[in-house]
Chains A and B, each alone.
Chain A
Amino acid sequence: MDLLAEIVAWLVRWGGIVVLAFFTLLVFTLIFLFVLSLFDMYRRLRQNYYSDYEVMARSRFTFPISVLIPAYNEERTIVDCVESVLNMDYPEHEVLVINDGSADGTLERLLEHFNMVRRRVVYRRSIDTEPVTAVYKSKTHPRLTVIDKDHSGKSESLNVGINISRYPLFCSIDADSIFQENALLRVVRPVLEDPERVVAVGGQVRVANGCVIKDGRVTEPRMPPGALAGFQVVEYLRAFVASRLGLSKLNNLLIISGVFSLFRKDVVIEVGGYKKHLTEDMELVIRIHRRMREQKRDYAAVFLPDPICWTQVPTTMKSLWSQRSRWHRGLMSCILSNKRLLFNPRYGDLAFVGMPYYFFFEMFGPVVELLGYVLIPIAGAAGALRGAYFLLFLALAIGAGTMLSMLAVLMEELSFGLYRRWRDLGKMFLIAFLENFGYRQITLVMRLTATVEYLRGRQEWGSHDREDFNNDVSAGGEGECASRAHAPASRSSVVRTKQFP
């Protein structure tokens, strides 16, 4: 009995220390990344403000881009998405939709809407892929190509797109996404500035649910009506605006979201293209980092806060679970299959910053958090739990979480200020606090379950229900002032001045 009590006491003591140390380190790391992000955000936004994108938009020297849109059962959003990309203000770009054997009417909608005819196309298999079933060219939109193939997954679709694409840069976006104005010009800028060094660029991904969308453009960003999507707005803000920008500043960014990313095609071909993986975007980026560092090449993988792509997020618990499970299993697989990078001086700072960040905080985070939750009843049962200290710790945990989310909201307000309705601002602040009671725990369970599933070898993707874009909501009327989001084009330069103090 005494032995058991000793074990429990030891567990509570050391478990508590581990949880506390982990938690403290995480908070300080996030604050550090946040500060880095703040400076970089300021610089990028100012750089944009003083830049003349009109010249780039007309210049024949601006690098042409192939936009790849892999689509699997996307009949509800695909037309809006393609329209949005075709309407981009960019000197030269082609759009390739790769229909990955959709079982719904994705292909039919494209063929009908864009007046497409079947064509033979000669292409080189720079990356080994299964053959395509058919290639269609639009009679009305010469820049649009639709590739039909049997279902074989997103990575294979992207590889097919890379093989058939014509230009040296490609941008991959999800079929349930919509570009913000000038997003292509903005995302290509680092490559134009430093074409030798910049190999990949990621743009910011925002939640499209609830936004007013007209003619393939988000005309008025709004908070989604449902709580689940609302939580994800703040979550995305925290992830993209804060941590990714900071990691990018250190050239340690391991995730460039496949929702919106730009790559140099030669580099992607050199590393073998996308691999069949749960998180093929992260896997590719890590492989690029590895190759570049192993060959001691000077390179950069950059995240930018200002090119924005709007995407749909899950609105049901089931699809959120499926998405988060896939993300976490993918993350574990990427990190564990590259564990030899950890603290290996050959990989420079990536081995001491980027990899440990994802290894300890992103991968092990849920386990340590669970340890915290498990220790509470054990300590309580063993009489080792002092109520006040428990509350102290709880207040600290909730307080730190809330502060980080609120800082992300404040940063959004100071930088882009896209959500112009007061009620949206209020909602974001409320969510920053409320997410600590329920949502955080639910996502923890999702990630823990994913950990178990990963260890048991589960490899399926899961599904994500799509919705129509919110096309029929009438725009305007509720903004307190002429909203920056839907201000007329002639005002845009004035409106953007707001971004700077």
Chain B
Amino acid sequence: MGESTFPTIATQQLLVLVAIVAVLAVVLTVASVFARYITTSSDRRRIRDLERFEELFGLIASGRRESRKTALEEVEVLLSGRNVDLAASGVGILDPEGRRDVTRLIEKKGYVDSFIGMSGSRFKWKRARAIKALGRLTPPRATPVLVRALYDSDPDIRNFAAAAVSRIRTSEAERALMEMLGRGTEYLSHRIAAMFAEEGVADRQALLEKLRGGDISERRWAAEVLAGLKDYDAVPALFVLLDDEDADARAAGAKALGALGRERDAGRIGALLENDSVWFVRAQAARALGEILSPESVGLLCAGLRDESWWVRRRCLESLVAFGDEAVPALKEVLRWEDRFARESAVEALERLGMEFRADTAV
């Protein structure tokens, strides 16, 4: 009995399986074709809309009253839920007045309200979308929403919010970013510091206070930003940092003083290169001396070529190269030293400064 029914069942199963596989293959193929069709047409539409927005924003930016008015009317007609993000991302090219006008149009159509509502969504990527758009449009009432997003539980949202808040040039926004500098993740601080370095900071006092009184991470980041902004008022606080017990703080202080580049600070930094017990502090000091380029540091840097840490020696070499011709006599002197590494470093530096050595020259 079993013998006779067996193949029949198997054939049926086979047919069912083949049918399932075929259906799945067709579904996947259709899904891909459909996805391709949708994305192709959506790309096409987006590019068309973007080109139109660019054209209209160009007219708005041109400043001619008539064309501005016509362009704004056309923007209003063109705006839809599908392309409002594109419009938001394009307003950056407009002058403040143009941006305000376009933002008003977007507000008038209710999209700003919709984004503000979306910023409280429990779905992360909806919040991200809202934050990105609001960050581009920067309507005044979005500021508290974006500042709140800096404290979101999700680190991605906090990063997006930092980028958005940095575009709002108000003291409230700057304060919020300042508050976050050195707190939370390194990445967030990194982004905020990069933005401050690029856009500048109006309230330097707050940064200085952070440098003087924050925890080590806050002080380190404040030093980075102030040095990037070439704020010489930070120097006394940076000197205090050089005496800190924490090696990271001392290194940050040296690095910042190097970036500030005042020749008169070279002595303090040189002392750090000579005496600090931690290698990366000495390495930062050597690097700083290569940025300050005080002629008095050349001897110290040459001496640093004999440091026990390879990184310090390497930093000294790079800094000596930065001095250019000024370092040549001292480097030639190093060629006579007993320390082989120092001699070889001197040869490398001198070659980089244009001096020719025969390949077989013994060092």
Query: In the assembled complex, which residues on chain A have CB atoms less than 8 Å from the CB atom of B359?
Result: 118
Which are the 8 A-B pairs with shortest beta-carbon distances? A388-B10, A399-B21, A59-B194, A406-B28, A193-B187, A481-B40, A50-B128, A392-B14
Q: How far is the CA of A403 from the CA of B314 in the complex (A)?
A: 55
Query: In the assembled complex, which residues on chain B have CB atoms less than 8 Å from the CB atom of A480?
Result: 40
A59 to chain B: closest residue by CB: B194
Determine if A484 is an interface residue (Cβ-Cβ < 8 Å). yes
Interface residues of A (CB under 8 A from B): 46-47, 50-52, 55-56, 58-62, 118-122, 124, 137, 166, 192-195, 386-389, 391-392, 395-396, 398-399, 402-403, 406-407, 409-410, 413-414, 417, 420, 422, 425, 429, 433, 480-482, 484, 487, 490-491, 493-495, 497-498, 500
- Are A50 and B40 interface neighbours, CB within 8 A? no
| Given known contacts A61-B190, A193-B187, A399 and B24 CB-to-CB distance under 8 angstroms | yes
Partner pick for A120 among B21, B40, B344, CB 8 A cutoff: B344
B13 to chain A: closest residue by CB: A392
Q: List 8 A-B contacts (CB under 8 A).
A: A46-B128, A59-B193, A61-B190, A194-B186, A395-B14, A403-B28, A406-B24, A487-B47
B6 to chain A: closest residue by CB: A386
Determine if B50 is an interface residue (Cβ-Cβ < 8 Å). yes
Instruction: State how many angstroms separate the Cβ of A241 from the closest Cβ of chain B.
Output: 14
Determine if B43 is an interface residue (Cβ-Cβ < 8 Å). yes
Query: In the assembled complex, which residues on chain B have CB atoms less than 8 Å from the CB atom of A58?
Result: 194, 198
Instruction: State how many angstroms separate the Cβ of B118 from the closest Cβ of chain A.
Output: 13
Q: How far is the CA of A447 from the CA of B6 in the complex (A)?
A: 37
B305 to chain A: closest residue by CB: A122
Determine if B236 is an interface residue (Cβ-Cβ < 8 Å). no
B346 to chain A: closest residue by CB: A122
- Are A392 and B7 interface neighbours, CB within 8 A? no
Partner pick for B194 among A61, A121, A497, CB 8 A cutoff: A61
Which applies to chain A's interface (DSSP): helix, strand, loop or mixed? helix
- Are B33 and A50 interface neighbours, CB within 8 A? no
- Are B186 and A389 interface neighbours, CB within 8 A? no
Q: How far is the CA of A484 from the CA of B44 in the complex (A)?
A: 10
- Are A482 and B31 interface neighbours, CB within 8 A? no
- Are B11 and A388 interface neighbours, CB within 8 A? yes
Determine if B240 is an interface residue (Cβ-Cβ < 8 Å). no
- Are B187 and A50 interface neighbours, CB within 8 A? no
Query: In the assembled complex, which residues on chain A have CB atoms less than 8 Å from the CB atom of B13?
Result: 388, 392
Query: 8 new A-B pairs (CB below 8 Å) besides A60-B194, A122-B314, A482-B47?
Result: A51-B160, A58-B198, A120-B347, A403-B28, A417-B36, A429-B32, A495-B47, A500-B125
Partner pick for A482 among B24, B43, B160, B191, CB 8 A cutoff: B43
Q: How far is the CA of A495 from the CA of B39 in the complex (A)?
A: 10
- Are A497 and B46 interface neighbours, CB within 8 A? yes
Q: How far is the CA of A392 from the CA of B8 in the complex (A)?
A: 12
Instruction: State how many angstroms separate the Cβ of B340 from the closest Cβ of chain A.
Output: 10
B131 to chain A: closest residue by CB: A50
Interface 0/1 of B7-29, CB less than 8 Å to A: 10011011001101100110011
Interface residues of B (CB under 8 A from A): 6-7, 10-11, 13-14, 17-18, 20-21, 24-25, 28-29, 31-33, 35-36, 39-44, 46-47, 50, 54, 85-86, 89, 125, 128-129, 131-132, 155-156, 159-160, 163, 185-187, 190-191, 193-195, 197-198, 224, 228, 310, 314, 317, 341, 344-345, 347-348, 351-352, 357, 359, 363
- Are B347 and A193 interface neighbours, CB within 8 A? no
- Are A392 and B344 interface neighbours, CB within 8 A? no
Query: In the assembled complex, which residues on chain B have CB atoms less than 8 Å from the CB atom of A195?
Result: 186
- Are A498 and B42 interface neighbours, CB within 8 A? yes
- Are A55 and B191 interface neighbours, CB within 8 A? yes
Q: How far is the CA of A249 from the CA of B61 in the complex (A)?
A: 47
A52 to chain B: closest residue by CB: B163
Query: In the assembled complex, which residues on chain B have CB atoms less than 8 Å from the CB atom of A414?
Result: 35
- Are B193 and A61 interface neighbours, CB within 8 A? yes
- Are A410 and B10 interface neighbours, CB within 8 A? no
Q: How far is the CA of A118 from the CA of B351 in the complex (A)?
A: 10
Partner pick for A406 among B25, B155, B163, B352, CB 8 A cutoff: B25
Instruction: State how many angstroms separate the Cβ of A206 from the closest Cβ of chain B.
Output: 18
| Given known contacts A50-B160, A59-B197, A388-B14, A482 and B20 CB-to-CB distance under 8 angstroms | no
Query: In the assembled complex, which residues on chain B have CB atoms less than 8 Å from the CB atom of A407?
Result: 28
A403 to chain B: closest residue by CB: B24
| Given known contacts A122-B345, A484-B43, A56 and B125 CB-to-CB distance under 8 angstroms | no
Instruction: State how many angstroms separate the Cβ of B140 from the closest Cβ of chain A.
Output: 22
- Are A392 and B17 interface neighbours, CB within 8 A? yes
| Given known contacts A55-B195, A192-B190, A403-B28, A491 and B36 CB-to-CB distance under 8 angstroms | no
Q: How far is the CA of A406 from the CA of B317 in the complex (A)?
A: 56
| Given known contacts A50-B128, A122-B345, A407-B28, A389 and B18 CB-to-CB distance under 8 angstroms | no
Q: How far is the CA of A192 from the CA of B189 in the complex (A)?
A: 11
A124 to chain B: closest residue by CB: B310
| Given known contacts A118-B359, A119-B348, A55 and B29 CB-to-CB distance under 8 angstroms | no
- Residue among A120, A391, A403, A482 facing the most chain B CB atoms (10 A cut-off): A120
Query: In the assembled complex, which residues on chain B have CB atoms less than 8 Å from the CB atom of A493?
Result: 89
A137 to chain B: closest residue by CB: B352
- Are B185 and A193 interface neighbours, CB within 8 A? yes
Query: In the assembled complex, which residues on chain A have CB atoms less than 8 Å from the CB atom of B29?
Result: 406, 429
Instruction: State how many angstroms separate the Cβ of A463 from the closest Cβ of chain B.
Output: 33
Instruction: State how many angstroms separate the Cβ of A130 from the closest Cβ of chain B.
Output: 18
- Are A410 and B31 interface neighbours, CB within 8 A? yes
Instruction: State how many angstroms separate the Cβ of B329 from the closest Cβ of chain A.
Output: 19
Query: In the assembled complex, which residues on chain A have CB atoms less than 8 Å from the CB atom of B33?
Result: 425
- Are A60 and B228 interface neighbours, CB within 8 A? yes
Partner pick for A417 among B7, B11, B39, B132, CB 8 A cutoff: B39
Q: How far is the CA of A59 from the CA of B225 in the complex (A)?
A: 12
- Are B36 and A391 interface neighbours, CB within 8 A? no
Instruction: State how many angstroms separate the Cβ of A421 from the closest Cβ of chain B.
Output: 10
Q: How far is the CA of A491 from the CA of B357 in the complex (A)?
A: 51
- Are B10 and A482 interface neighbours, CB within 8 A? no
B317 to chain A: closest residue by CB: A122
B310 to chain A: closest residue by CB: A124
A428 to chain B: closest residue by CB: B32
